[in-house]
């Protein structure tokens, strides 16, 4: 639908404090116009919600405009980065887009910028570096950091604006992010919108160390600044200085804005928890009428009223258009889960086979990627000079430098968010988790931020998460787990689990060129389990499909990871001792699943065995059995057999761990018992 032309006034989306010296009245009028639009639209949205025309939650920013509008006007929208929160409609309006587009988001109609897949204000404009928030507070800070660093690395003097509230400031991500931003010296403004409450909880019940949140900056080696969001002109001056300083120094700053929460947490909030008179006191300080009066003295009431009328009329015409826009349809939803991937061009190296173990093959693949792909970078704990806990990155720092191969602090969530931001900014980070187990620290970033990105906003998020997984090495319950079904229960992740050096080499290249987050499971027990020839394989993308390792008649065996070795030995035993043969498949790709060849095999053999190292209940085998039996039930001659670990934490002592996980002997025993 055609959008109405915005009032000429809205063409100006920028402001500099210097204008206060030579063009004060016009600068303040411009600021007021945006504040008026923001307030009127927030109020109108509340009304539409109460009329039942909008769904979900409506969290207005009434009382935040006095600092938010100046800040958004001061930001350089051509190069800066932001992720606005649920109080920041004004930021969205000023940053980019037509009012109709923002309204379409609220109406969740067919033209919504998130294709109606995300709720009110959970949108952004990735092409213009406005990153759509996820609800989990604190998580977006590090994504802003990564996206801003991507701009800086491409030569822009960008600043990132990471917004959060007093409530959100208690999350662990805030600590991780502030520390990381200071460490990496990233030009970030950490904007704390302190409106005194997190939902119903006052700041006095949130912090013991005082409510002067800007002071937290000092603990991270940063500067802290506080502004009173009811004094708009002072905000303009301070914010301009702060932003210019961050831009110039590339040092992060904490900016606390003392705001007012005029309308409670959300549309349904009755605000019963407020003290008597508290609400009236808020309204008495409301920056919008206060600032209006100031502007009226400068330009006259007539001019202000004319602009207000024009803005109100424009807003109403936009509401009409958004209301008349058709409802969304589910078309394309499933196809949009993953971003399309364009294959990259690779040099045909190594041309001659090299004898490598799986760890060395991964090192070679990383080396190849860093050599051929300038947008690649590697991050993780101890991966620099030390070469990583398993020495997979050995020598890479030396050869490719600290800008591209760098150690991270113990902050899995912020480092993953940072990598997501870099991925959104044109880089392709490869993040090593020291042990797969520690990726639980980044579950929100991996499964809710990265994995949903393309579905939510259409932006590709090319990332590889390297996950040293699996047990059998007496590492105990926190260094031995198989987490594939835990992670893959969430949509939007691809996953590879190679079992040979060549497959590991191929898998890393295949994962790297994906435009989606890919989990690369690396079994620690396979890292140094013998060498095999590794060579450039033009057909390396075949790793996305299973490989058939043996052919037979009796049953189809499906497995992956270290269990491929055990299954090979166990099936060889049956072949040699009993002349019973199996079709044996190494699954290799766990997501997306390509079961075509395995289905054909099950059709032929009529029997199915699934073997994996992860726990049995909710294990990956449950999904495999379900898929293969629901589509081939009639072909089955026997109930399928599932061999997996016990439903326990991974026990430490070797005797206990042997009892916990499948071994060659146990696999043989269970197959023999099943054969009857």
Ligand X SMILES: Cc1ncc(C[n+]2csc(CCOP(=O)(O)OP(=O)(O)O)c2C)c(N)n1
Tell me if residue 479 is catalytic.
yes
- Least distance (Å) from ligand X to the CB of residue 142? 14
What is the Cα–Cα distance from 314 to 323, expressed in whole angstroms?
Answer: 14
Q: Give the one entry of ligand X, Mg ion, none that residue 387 binds, where binding means its C-beta sits below a cut-off of 5 to 8 angstroms depending on kind.
A: none
Whichever of 178 and 495 has its CB closer to ligand X, that residue is 178
Report d(CA 508, CA 334) in Å as an integer.
Answer: 26
Nearer to Mg ion, 41 or 260 (CB): 260
Catalytic residue among 92, 479, 612, 632, which? 479
Could you tell which of Mg ion, ligand X, none binds residue 91, using a CB distance below 5 to 8 A set by kind?
A: none
User: In the bound complex, what is the minimum distance in angstroms from residue 74's beta carbon to ligand X?
Assistant: 21
Q: What is the dihedral of CA 433, 436, 441, 446, to 10 degrees?
A: 80
Shorter beta-carbon distance to Mg ion: residue 85 or 158? 85
Nearer to Mg ion by C-beta: 261 or 368? 261
**CA gap 229, 65 in Å, rounded:** 7
Q: Which of 390, 397, 470, 472 is nearest to 437 (CA)?
A: 470
Q: Which is closer to Mg ion, CB of 197 or CB of 540?
A: 197
Q: How far apart are CA 495 and CA 121, in angstroms?
A: 31
What are the distances in angstroms from CA 561 to CA 193, 481, 493, 501? 47, 13, 18, 12
Nearer to Mg ion, 172 or 530 (CB): 172
> Distance between CA atoms of 559 and 546, rounded to whole angstroms?
10
Closest contact distance (angstroms) between CB of 443 and Mg ion is 25
In angstroms, what is the minimal distance from the CB of 137 to ligand X? 4
Tokens of 247: 């831009």
> Which of Mg ion, ligand X, none interacts with 543 (beta carbon under 5 to 8 A by kind)?
none
Q: How far is the CB of 35 from ligand X (least distance, A)?
A: 18
The least distance separating ligand X from the CB of residue 269, rounded to whole angstroms, comes to 10
Q: How far is the CB of 169 from ligand X (least distance, A)?
A: 7
Q: Whole-number minimum distance, CB 544 to Mg ion, in Å?
A: 46
Residues in contact with Mg ion by the rule CB under 5 A? 165-167, 195, 197
Q: Which does 137 bind (CB under 5 to 8 A by kind): Mg ion, ligand X, none?
A: ligand X
CA angle, residues 176, 524, 494, in degrees to nearest 5? 65
Q: In angstroms, rounded to a whole number, what is the distance separating the alpha carbons of residues 546 and 566?
A: 17
**Residue 188 phi, psi dihedral angles, 5° rounding:** -120, 135
Alpha-carbon span 447 to 347, nearest angstrom: 33
The answer to whether 254 and 188 are in contact (CB under 8 A) is: no
- Say which entry of Mg ion, ligand X, none residue 470 contacts (CB below 5 to 8 A, set by partner kind): none
Among ligand X, Mg ion, none, residue 88 binds (CB under 5-8 Å by kind)? none
Binding site for ligand X (CB under 6 A): 87, 135-137, 164-168, 171, 193, 195, 197-199, 261, 265
Question: How far apart (Å, rounded) are the C-alpha atoms in residues 187 and 153?
Answer: 12
Residues 644 and 662 sit within 8 Å (Cβ to Cβ): yes
Q: Closer to ligand X by CB, 85 or 499: give it.
A: 85
Cβ contacts of 347 within 8 Å, gap of 6 or more: 368, 372, 536
Q: Roughly how many angstroms between the first and final C-alpha of the chain, as a whole number?
A: 68
Q: Token pair 């949140």 is at which residue?
A: 213
Is 65 tagged catalytic?
no
Q: Which helix (H) or strand (E) holds 223?
A: strand 223-228
> How far apart are the C-alpha atoms of 395 and 486, rounded to whole Å?
33
Token match 């890919």: residue? 518
Q: Residue 30 binds what, of Mg ion, ligand X, none (CB under 5 to 8 Å, by partner type)? A: none
CB of 166: closest distance to Mg ion in angstroms?
Answer: 4
Select from ligand X, Mg ion, none the partner in contact with residue 440, using the beta carbon and a kind-dependent cut-off of 5 to 8 Å.
Answer: none
Judged by beta carbon, residue 133 or residue 295, the one nearer ligand X is: 133
Work out how close the CB of 266 gets to ligand X at its nearest, in angstroms, rounded to a whole number: 8
C-beta atoms surrounding 548 within 10 Å: 14
Q: How many CB atoms lie within 10 A of CB 93?
A: 21
Q: What is the DSSP string of 146-190?
A: HHHHHHHHTT----EEEEEETTGGGSHHHHHHHHHHHHHT--EEE
Cα 304 to chain centroid, rounded: 43
Residues 251, 185: Cα–Cα separation, whole Å: 5
Q: DSSP secondary structure string, 248-314?
A: HH---EEEEEE---TT-SSTT---TTSPTTHHHHHHHT-HHHHHHHHHHHHH-HHHHHHHHHHHHHH
Cis peptide upstream of residue 350 (ω within 30 degrees of 0): yes
Q: What does 171 bind: Mg ion, ligand X, none (CB cut-off 5 to 8 Å by kind)?
A: ligand X
Beta bridge partners of 610: 558, 642
State the nearest-atom distance from the C-beta of 198 to Mg ion, in Å. 5
The residue (of 199 and 578) whose beta carbon lies closer to Mg ion is: 199
- For ligand X, which is the closer residue by CB, 63 or 472? 63
Q: Which of Mg ion, ligand X, none has residue 503 at its interface (CB below 5 to 8 Å by kind)?
A: none
Is the peptide bond prior to 357 cis by the omega test (within 30 degrees of 0)?
no
DSSP 113: T
Indicate the helix (H) or strand (E) that contains 195: none
Q: In the complex, what is the shortest distance from the CB of residue 32 to ligand X, in angstroms, rounded to a whole number?
A: 23
Catalytic residue among 412, 441, 484, 522: 412
Which partner, ligand X, Mg ion, none, binds residue 199 by CB below 5 to 8 Å per kind? ligand X
CB nearer to ligand X: give 257 or 608. Answer: 257
Whichever of 91 and 621 has its CB closer to Mg ion, that residue is: 91
CA distance 93 to 101: 10
Q: Are strands 463-469 and 582-586 parallel, antiparallel or unpaired?
A: unpaired
| Residue 456 touches which member of Mg ion, ligand X, none, C-beta under 5-8 Å by kind | none
Catalytic residues: 412, 479
């Amino acid at each position: 639908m055609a959008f109405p032309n915005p009032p000429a006034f809205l063409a100006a989306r920028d402001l500099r404090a210097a204008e206060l010296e030579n063009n004060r009245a016009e600068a303040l009028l411009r600021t007021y116009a945006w504040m008026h639009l923001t307030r009127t639209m927030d109020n109108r949205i509340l009304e539409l919600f109460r009329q039942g025309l909008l769904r979900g939650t409506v969290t207005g920013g009434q009382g935040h405009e006095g600092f938010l509008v100046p800040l958004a006007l001061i930001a350089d929208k051509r190069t800066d980065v932001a992720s606005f929160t649920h109080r920041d409609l004004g930021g969205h309006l000023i940053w980019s887009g037509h009012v109709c587009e923002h309204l379409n988001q609220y109406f969740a109609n067919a033209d919504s910028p998130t294709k109606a897949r995300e709720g009110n204000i959970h949108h952004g404009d990735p092409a213009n570096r406005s990153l759509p928030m996820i609800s989990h507070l604190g998580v977006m800070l590090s994504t802003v950091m990564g996206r801003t660093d991507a701009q800086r690395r491409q030569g822009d003097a960008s600043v990132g604006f990471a917004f959060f509230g007093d409530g959100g400031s208690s999350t662990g991500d805030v600590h991780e992010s502030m520390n990381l931003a200071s460490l990496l010296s990233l030009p970030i403004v950490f904007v704390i919108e302190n409106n005194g409450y997190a939902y119903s909880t006052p700041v006095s019940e949130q912090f013991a160390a005082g409510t002067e949140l800007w002071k937290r900056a000092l603990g991270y080696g940063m500067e802290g600044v506080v502004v009173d969001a009811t004094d708009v002109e002072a905000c303009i001056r301070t914010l301009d200085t702060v932003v210019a300083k961050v831009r110039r120094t590339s040092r992060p700053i904490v900016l606390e804005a003392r705001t007012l929460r005029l309308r409670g947490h959300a549309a349904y909030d009755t605000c019963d928890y407020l003290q008597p008179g508290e609400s009236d006191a808020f309204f008495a300080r409301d920056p919008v009428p206060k600032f209006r009066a100031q502007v009226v003295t400068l330009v006259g009431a007539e001019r202000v009223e004319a602009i207000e009328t024009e803005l109100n009329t424009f807003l109403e015409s936009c509401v009409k258009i958004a209301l008349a826009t058709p409802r969304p349809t589910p078309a394309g939803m499933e196809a949009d889960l993953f971003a399309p991937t364009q294959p990259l061009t690779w040099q045909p190296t190594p041309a001659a086979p090299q004898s490598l173990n799986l760890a060395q093959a991964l090192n070679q693949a990383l080396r190849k990627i860093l050599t051929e792909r300038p947008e690649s970078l590697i991050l993780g704990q101890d991966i620099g000079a030390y070469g990583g806990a398993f020495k997979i990155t050995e020598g890479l720092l030396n050869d490719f430098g600290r800008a591209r191969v760098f150690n991270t602090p113990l902050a899995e969530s912020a480092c993953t968010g940072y990598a997501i931001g870099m991925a959104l900014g044109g880089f392709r980070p490869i993040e090593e988790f020291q042990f797969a187990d520690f990726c639980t620290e980044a579950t929100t970033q991996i499964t809710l931020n990265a994995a949903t990105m393309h579905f939510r906003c259409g932006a590709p998020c090319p990332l590889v998460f390297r996950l040293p997984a699996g047990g059998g090495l007496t590492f105990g319950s926190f260094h031995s787990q198989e987490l594939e079904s835990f992670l893959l229960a969430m949509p939007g992740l691809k996953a590879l689990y190679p079992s040979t050096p060549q497959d590991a080499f191929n898998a890393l290249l295949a994962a790297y060129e994906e435009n989606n987050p890919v989990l690369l499971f690396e079994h620690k027990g396979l890292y140094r389990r013998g060498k095999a020839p590794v060579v450039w394989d033009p057909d390396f993308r075949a790793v996305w499909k299973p490989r058939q390792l043996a052919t037979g008649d009796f049953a189809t065996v499906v497995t992956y990871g270290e269990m491929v070795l055990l299954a090979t030995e166990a099936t060889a035993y049956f072949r040699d001792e009993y002349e019973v043969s199996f079709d044996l498949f190494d699954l290799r790709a766990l997501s997306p699943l390509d079961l075509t060849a395995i289905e054909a095999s099950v059709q032929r053999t009529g029997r199915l065995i699934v073997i994996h190292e992860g726990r049995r209940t909710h294990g990956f085998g449950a999904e495999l059995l379900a898929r293969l039996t629901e589509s081939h039930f009639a072909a089955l001659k026997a109930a399928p057999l599932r061999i997996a670990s016990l439903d326990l934490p991974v026990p430490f002592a070797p005797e206990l761990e042997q009892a916990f996980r499948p071994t060659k002997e146990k696999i043989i025993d269970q197959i023999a018992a099943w054969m009857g």
